[in-house]
Amino acid sequence: MASPRGTRRSRTLSTEALAVRIHPYAESSAIVVLLTKDLGLTRAVAKGAKRLSNGFRGPLDKCVLHNVRVSRRAREGLYHLTSASVREAFPRLRSETERFFAANCVIEIAADLMREEEPNEELFRLTTYTLKALDKAPRERIGLAATLFLARAAALSGHAPEIKTCVSCNESLHGELTPYLSPLRGGALHAACGQGEPGARPVAPALLELLAALWRHAPGPILTMDLPAASLRDLRILLEGWLESVLERRFRAAAPMERELARSAKKPRRSVG
């Protein structure tokens, strides 16, 4: 639980955080961009972060869930990071490249979906849940964990496409053989309604059904399902493009993740317990 504390002149808060980016700052400090449970996306100055002798256990690691304490005086813009400790480590994200690239992509997209200083605890929980899954899941399920994250993160941030009813005529899309998808209109359309819509593209109905299934079932059971890797990849790429369109962002970590997952799929399958 968060424990806000403070006077009129300063505010101190303890929360859980993931490091998104770390920029060197001044002589021995850093500005860290944090994804937090209680403050949404936030920036904090970590004084002396490059020295190992202070309260930090080494520099903030991307593949670790931290307990942090931050404080800010009334008229200051940035928080000061006053302490950070490891809450949960995900060691295989560091040691296996496909897990690392997937984690990097998940953190980047979570940071783009999270608003500054506006908490979204469900999105934060989904992100840490996904990092745990990427750390623990058998290698052949990494793509599934990443696709599941994209599907649910889109919904938790209010950016999910409407896929049940046509966003143009409001009639059901049930049975539509060649639905279209339009980021501009916020969802799917009948072929007849989508043709001629600027930016609308045809989409395989099976991908919309897969997306509905990822929303319908709880994440735990989904991660044990045998879903076809090619459809999961196609849905991932569809959702990446969708979110890039609605957010007007480019996810730099998405293409490297896809390359690593494709490379990983060619490696001999092994059983991971």
Binding site for Zn ion (CB under 5 A): 166, 168-169, 190, 193
By the 8 A CB rule, do 45 and 31 touch?
A: yes
CB of 194 vs Zn ion, minimal distance in Å: 8
CB of 190 vs Zn ion, minimal distance in Å: 4
Using DSSP's 3-state secondary structure scheme, residue 43 falls into strand
Pick 88 or 171: Cβ nearer Zn ion:
171
CB of 175 vs Zn ion, minimal distance in Å: 12
| Cα 81 from Cα 103, distance rounded (Å) | 24
Question: Which tokens hold the place of 203?
Answer: 């989409």
Closest residue to Zn ion, judged by C-beta, is 166
**Residue 115's CB: how many other CB atoms inside 10 A?**
11
CB of 206 vs Zn ion, minimal distance in Å: 20
Pick 78 or 169: Cβ nearer Zn ion:
169
Pick 169 or 230: Cβ nearer Zn ion:
169
| Cα 4 from Cα 60, distance rounded (Å) | 22
| Cα 168 from Cα 165, distance rounded (Å) | 9
| Cα 264 from Cα 266, distance rounded (Å) | 5
Pick 40 or 183: Cβ nearer Zn ion:
183
- Rg for the chain (alpha carbons), in Å? 21
Pick 56 or 180: Cβ nearer Zn ion:
180
